[in-house]
Amino acid sequence: MSSISHLNQIVQVVKPRRDGYATVKMVDSNGSIISRDKTLVVKFPSHSLEAVRLGSLWQVSGTEKVSQYKINGYDVSEYTITAAEVKYLKPAGRVLSRWISTNVKGVGKTIADRLVRKQGMLEAIRKRDREVLRSIKGMSDDRIDSLFKIWPDDHLYEVIEWLEERHLPLGLGNKLIDVFGSEALEKVKKNPFLLMAMGAPFEKAMEVSKALGLDLADEAVLAGVAQHFTSIHSFDTGSTIIDAETLIEGCKLITGREVPENIGDIAVSAGLLAKVGLGYQVYGTAVQEVSVASFLVDCLTRPPGQGALLAVWERDLTEAEVNNALSKYEKTLDFALTDEQRRAIKGAVMSPLCGISGGAGTGKTTILRGVISVYEALSPAIHVRQVALSGRAAQRMSESTRKPAHSIAKLIYDHIGQGKKELPPHLLLVIDEASMVDLLSMYQLVGILPPATRILFVGDTEQLPPVRAGLIFHELKESGIPFFNLSEVKRQGAESGIHHFAMSIRNDSPEQPEQIAETVDESADCVIEEVATVERLIELWEEIRDEDSIVLSPVRKGELGVLNINKKLQAHVGGDRLPLSYLDEVRGWIPWCGDDGEFLLEGDRVLITKNNYDEDADLRNGDLGVIEEVYDEPDDDNVVGKLLVNGQSIGITRKLLEKITLGYAVTIHKAQGSQWNTCIVTIPKEGLPITDKTLIYTAVTRPTNRLIIIGNFNYIKRAVDKGSEALKRKTYIKKRLEQCIALKNKNETA
């Protein structure tokens, strides 16, 4: 068979697959299934993927070809239609009968046929008329409930058809109906940029607006352009606010023409932006900031003992009790706490909301253990939850405190959604590496916390800001919320070359490290190599050969970027090793290729790029491991190899494959919250635009024993002179915190 062309062939999805493929059955015009001797697969266009669901009916036009591959040594053939055009079908007649029997629990073909033949059946379903439906033989109350639950809204079909004509994602239909109900189409036609809030790209919203006859001067279009550029600005800068001048200039670039000076206010009137001070925010961002600020201030001002029965201990809390519990904790230590450490521990217990910031060696871990110890002494029933933004930071937190810790994403995953267990009504939440926490993560977090939550933020304001927009920890410092700064260094080895160099950067006066000696072993613990080539890096890496080592770079691309370093180190280790492969449902057993074009070979160091909650082991974003075994075919559980990570041997599935990349080198952002015995830090010229004081400081505080810098020392000085880009971010969270505190105080005195 070479190929067969199909025109308007009706098919029903029987098994959605990955990558746009679905197993289907061909449906005759009378609603019956057309039998075939081989499996039939349809490759759907990208715009239709969200609507490709079990039981859905489609009209498909395209070319059918045969695909052959092996499974466990057996030749398998199936036929694939690559759809050039598809149309989502509203079931009717016998096709409707088949749709009902496939999608409605407990209803088979016989009962479905009776339903379709029943006069007035559609009206009865719309009106939720149980009596009419009970009159149909075989229709029990459970089956009627299932029918009501699954029955599609007529408006949904109307919206889907409209989206389909414009090649928009059909999955937008359900979202639009959920938000706007029967007025969905009317709302979108009036303002196509509402599609962006549902996930449609700006370009598609512009395309729709033009098709509807709206031009660039129309206020709906101007509002959409303003929202789009504000979102771009937030993504690029990390700021949640844009000033009017920047907004106007950005909108000019997008439209290629002059725009009204009040374009921001036009977007505010359209409900797409919010006015804040002298600038604007995306409306959703404003909602997030208000929610976070309100919750934090509610925590701070909550009367002692309120919100949960277990919080009753707060009513009798005295400073003397805290001092007594703190003294008992201090007796368990081999050293004395400093006065500032004692103040921080007492403040974190006396106040239900508190922040603690300190650099490397200032004793944040000691303080954290002390805070938890005092809390447990004063309120043995209190629940403690420890979180950090990254999985690796959470793991390090757990090792330091000897108590469980999770990533913020994991905590949210465990406690949000239908059927999930709620958090205890009274708890202490400790957020470590708090400088990394962005606005969206904090917004999602406060959404699951009970009112009687006590929160402790722990971090370093000199470290990198969040990757995503917002600035929570830094803004707490000046907002009126109790905040303690640690300055006295207590850690052993404080006079090491690494620490001395890190402190010189923190104090804005970087001192050049020693040049590297002839060998690494002969060199000091902190050295610089100004021969900045990947070949020299490989020589040093080979000489070190430390399993607890990492290469750090500020950038992904370029000679000394993460991608090239990983590629070169992989080749240096040996490119003739077995590659990880997987069983593709169309192409058979093939090597896995990541998003950056990399293959993963047996023995490679790898990085987990996303939290992984569905596997036997709880793998976290930022975990590092080694591919210890590669299979030549999948086993019975579709495992294709073994990954050694966190001391465990984990089976590698297709789902896990999608979360692994090479990990000989990682970005400095990925490294925050982690530590290694040895770090090679590259400072390439191409990374200068994004390299600032906080990035350098974060990088040089990652190693515990050896730091090798590859790059020009002048680049480091330029970065330190640039200062912290984090402090240049514009947000409104500090102002909102102040406003919420002022409002609380006003209400209390009224």
The string of pLDDT tens digits covering residues 326-383 is: 999 999 998 889 999 999 999 999 999 999 999 888 889 899 999 999 999 999 889 9
| Least confident range of 94-98, 366-370, 621-625, 648-652 | 94-98
Residues for the chain: how many in total?
750
**What are the C-alpha distances in Å from 690 to residues 168, 231, 236, 695?**
36, 20, 11, 8
For strand 676-683 and strand 21-27, is the pairing parallel, antiparallel, or unpaired? unpaired
153 touches 180 (CB < 8 A): no
Structural domains present in the chain = 4-150 (no CATH), 156-288 (no CATH), 307-486 (3.40.50.300), 497-570+666-728 (3.40.50.300), 578-591+605-663 (2.30.30)
Tens digit of each residue's pLDDT (9 = 90 or more) over 8-62 = 898 888 888 877 889 998 887 656 678 887 789 999 988 788 778 777 788 999 9
Beta strands in 653-746 (DSSP E): 660-662, 665-667, 676-683, 703-711
Query: Rounded to whole angstroms, how far apart are CA atoms 130 and 117?
Result: 17
User: Which residue, 526, 520, 507, 448, is CA-closest to 707?
Assistant: 526
Mean pLDDT, range 468-492, rounded to an integer? 85
Secondary structure percentages of the chain, helix, strand, coil, to 5:
40, 25, 35
Residue 693 has pLDDT above 90, yes or no: yes
The one-character DSSP state at 689 is G
Quote the pLDDT of residue 308. Answer: 93
For the whole model, what pTM was predicted? 0.77
Mean pLDDT, range 227-255, rounded to an integer? 94
398 touches 365 (CB < 8 A): no
Quote the pLDDT of residue 6. Answer: 87
Confidence category of residue 667, pLDDT binned at 50, 70, 90: very high
Structure-token pair, residue 236:
């690029």
Quote the pLDDT of residue 220. Answer: 86
Residue 79 has pLDDT above 90, yes or no: no
Q: How many Cβ atoms sit within 10 Å of the Cβ of residue 405?
A: 23
Tens digit of each residue's pLDDT (9 = 90 or more) over 668-688 = 988 887 889 999 999 999 999
